[in-house]
A and B are shown apart, each in its own frame.
Chain A
C-alpha cells in the first residue's frame, strides 16, 4: 500500500489555519474597483458568469517563485486579488543584526538571486556610506561594469521566462545560452557562478585580470548580435505584441502612488532612475540613455527592458576602456574599514592581525549614525537603511527591495485583468521572491 493512500493529508496539512482564514476574509471584504457585472447595462447575461475563488501558487511554475495569489474570479475576469508572500521569509534583517557588516554581505547574494552582484554592491555602498569609507576608483569602475552585466543577466532571465510564459520556449533557451556566457564571466572574475560575493566593504576582493577583460569584451561583441536577432523576432511579432499590448496598464499617477519602481515605473512614463537621480559609483561619468515609454502596459515594459540591456552594454564598453588605463588599488587602504590584501596577510604579522581583527569585529560606523543608500538594481530601487550603534554589527537594517514594492502594484494590476493574462502580468512586473520576502 502506498504512502499516499495510508496517510490522511487532511490532518497533516492543516497547519496555519488562521492564516488562510485571514486571506479569505480579506478577499471577501476587499472593496472591488471593478464593475460588479460588466454586462449590467441590459445586455444578455454572460453565460460564463460565475464566481469562484482560485488559489495560484505558492508552488506554481508561472508564479516565478513562491508567490501565492488568491483571486476571486467572475467568469474569466479577476475581480479581486490578494497576494500572499512570505513563503521564502528568512528573516535577513534579523540575521544582519547578529553579523558583522562584512559577514552579512554573502546573504545579499540570496536576495535577488538573478543579479547577486548588484545586491553585493548595494550592501557595500550602504555600509560605506554609514561608515564614511572611500572606495578606490578602479574598484568603483569594476563594480559598475559587473553590476551592468548582472542587469543584463537578470533581464535575460526575465525575457526567457516571460516568453516561455507566453508559450515560446526557444527564446528561453537562447537567453540561457547568453546567461551561460555571463556565468562564465562571473566565474572567471569572482570565482563563483551564481553567488558571486565579489564586492567587499571598501572595494572588491580580486582585480579583473586580462582573461576576464577579454571575456567581457567578447561578450560585448556577441551580445548585440544575439540581441538584434531577438528584436527581429519579437518586436514585430504578431503573437507577442497581441499578448502584451494594453495588458496591465499602469497610469502615471497609479505608478507613483503605488510606489512602483524600476522598469515598471519608467514604462509608465516617469523618468526616475537612481543612476541619474542620485548617481553612485561613476554613473555620472559614463554616457548612457534611460529608456522611457509612456503607455504603461506590458509591451512598454518589454521595450524598456530590451533597450536597457543595450544601454548596459554601452556602459560596460566604457568601463572596459576606462579599466584599460586606470590602474591602482582595488580596496580601501584602511585596515579599520576593509580587508588587507592576501599578500599582506600571508607575509606580515600586522596584515594577519588586521585580517583577524576585521573578521572578528570589522567596520564600526560611529554610534548613532544612520543612512540610506540606494542603487538601481535590475528590478528597481534597491536600498539599505542602516542604523549603527557603534559596534561591529548593525543595530537595524531595513532593506527596501524593488520586488516587494512592485508586487504591491501587481495586486492592483491583477484586478480587472483576465485570468489568462495573469501569468503575463506576473512576468511583466518581474518579481523575485527571494528579494521581496527578505
Chain B
C-alpha cells in the first residue's frame, strides 16, 4: 500500500478557526440543553446568577460564591438534580477572582446535566462546602484543596487527597513548576543505605543520583 501515490491532496487549511458552533457542535448532547433549569435558577436567585455561558451545547451558570449551597440544595430538592457527577477546581491565573470551582450535576430522571461555577479570590480562596447537600463532593473537594489550595468552609475532613500532608504546595496552581520543587517531598532512598530522596527529578536539576543497582559498600571492605 505504501507504494501507491495519493491521487489528490485532500487536506486544506481553513482560513480562521471558527468558534466551533455554540449548539451546532457535532458532539453536543441533548442532556446539556438546560434552558428551563437556567430560567428556574434565574427566577429563584435573581442577581445571584451572574453569567450564563453557552458553548458546545452546554450551559455553564456562574453564580455568587456565597449562595452555592442554597443553589445546590434548590437544584437537588426542587429541580431533581440529585447526582453530583463531578467537582473540580481551576486556576484562571488572573489578578482578581483567580480560582474557580465547577460543579457538574446530573438529573437522572429527566436526563439533564448542568454545570455551575463559582469564583474566589487569591488571598483567601474559600468556597462553602456542598458536602451537606451532596456527600459525593467529599473527596472532590479534598482534591481541589490539595491541588489548588481552595478551602471549603464546612467540610469536616479537609485533608489532602493525593499528596501527603507534609507537602506544602498546591501543585496544579499555574506557578507551580512542572518538575516539582526539590526538597518539598522526601521520598524513600534510592539505595537501602542511602539518604532520603529529596528531589524527584535530580537529573533535570543537574545532579546524578545513585542507581538502585549500584553495589552497596559493605562494612567489611572498609
Mutual binders A and B: yes
Q: Are A18 and B164 in contact (CB under 8 A)?
A: yes
Q: Are B17 and A278 in contact (CB under 8 A)?
A: no
* A58 interfacial contact with B, CB 8 Å: no
* B125 interfacial contact with A, CB 8 Å: no
Q: Are B86 and A336 in contact (CB under 8 A)?
A: no
Q: Are B172 and A134 in contact (CB under 8 A)?
A: no
* A322 interfacial contact with B, CB 8 Å: no
Q: Are B164 and A19 in contact (CB under 8 A)?
A: yes
Residues of A within 8 A of B85 (CB): 259, 374, 381, 383, 400
Nearest chain B residue, comparing its CB with the CB of A90 = B162
Residues of B within 8 A of A334 (CB): 11-12, 14
Q: What secondary structure prevails in chain B residues at the interface with A? A: loop
A86 to B176, CA, bound (A): 19
A341 to B5, CA, bound (A): 12
Nearest chain A residue, comparing its CB with the CB of B14 = A336
Nearest chain A residue, comparing its CB with the CB of B1 = A343
A405 to B104, CA, bound (A): 13
Q: Are B56 and A130 in contact (CB under 8 A)?
A: yes
Q: Nearest Cβ distance between residue B32 and chain A, in whole angstroms?
A: 8
Residues of B within 8 A of A383 (CB): 85-86, 104
A18 to B164, CA, bound (A): 8
* A365 interfacial contact with B, CB 8 Å: yes
Stretch from A141-149, A186-194, A347-355, A420-428 contacting the other chain: A347-355
* A235 interfacial contact with B, CB 8 Å: no
* B206 interfacial contact with A, CB 8 Å: no
Q: 1/0 contact trace for B5-23 toward A, CB 8 Å?
A: 1100111111001111100
Nearest chain B residue, comparing its CB with the CB of A260 = B136
Nearest chain A residue, comparing its CB with the CB of B188 = A15
Residues of A within 8 A of B2 (CB): 342-343, 346
Q: Are A86 and B162 in contact (CB under 8 A)?
A: yes
Which chain A residues in 22-74 approach chain B with CB under 8 Å?
Answer: 22-23, 26, 30
Please provide the 4 A-B residue pairs with the shortest distance between their CB atoms, ordered closest to farther: A132-B20, A259-B136, A86-B162, A19-B164
Q: A128-B27, A374-B85, A408-B136 are in contact. List 13 more A-B contacts (CB 8 A).
A: A15-B187, A19-B164, A19-B166, A26-B159, A129-B25, A130-B56, A259-B134, A277-B31, A344-B6, A350-B9, A372-B113, A385-B86, A398-B86
Query: A-contacting residues of B (Cβ < 8 Å)?
Result: 1-2, 4-6, 9-14, 17-21, 24-32, 53, 55-56, 58, 60, 82-86, 88, 90-91, 102, 104, 106, 108, 111, 113, 115, 134-136, 138-139, 147, 157, 159-166, 171-172, 176, 178, 186-189, 192-193, 196, 216, 218-220
